[in-house]
Amino acid sequence: MLKPGDKAPAFTLPDQNGNAVSLSDFLGKRVVLYFYPRDNTPGCTRQACAFKEAYDDFHREDVVVIGISKDSSASHRRFAEKYALPFLLLADPSRATLEAYGVVKEKTMYGKPVKGTSRTTFVIDQNGVVEAVFPDVSPDQNAYEVLSYLTDNA
């Protein structure tokens, strides 16, 4: 997994509307990049809604919030519309970006090993460098934990 001081891996992924979004689009701004397992699951919905509730505070800090999962753009669009999510959701069905950020982990499901996404959040600084890493986060506390970090380290 990446650690503070590492260069954030570049990516270009489609958002919930099918538009290509690159990390480099946000140079000069801090970016909160949160990786989550799947749209419309209980934990992922709580996490997304917590980021939505805190979105105005992130916006005041001039911070971009982006969620990434292996789900498709169409799935992200339905998820964003259902919960009125005001931030970008990026689709990584190939898992290339998930792998580059080190958030694909082996888990056990029904006694069988499967690869899944570890709920992890990165703060990327204005120069595209990893500033902070929040591994294995709580979906209910993640947004507020990151916001507290950002306001303490403005």
Which residues are part of the catalytic machinery? 44
**Which is it for strands 88-91 and 63-69: parallel, antiparallel or unpaired?**
parallel
**Burial class of residue 138 (count of CB atoms within 10 Å of its CB; 0-12, 13-18, 19+):** middle
- Strands (DSSP E) found in 23-124: 30-35, 63-69, 88-91, 104-109, 112-117, 120-124
Beta bridge partners, 32, equal: 65, 123
Q: How far is CA 91 from CA 27, 40, 64, 100, in A?
A: 20, 14, 17, 14
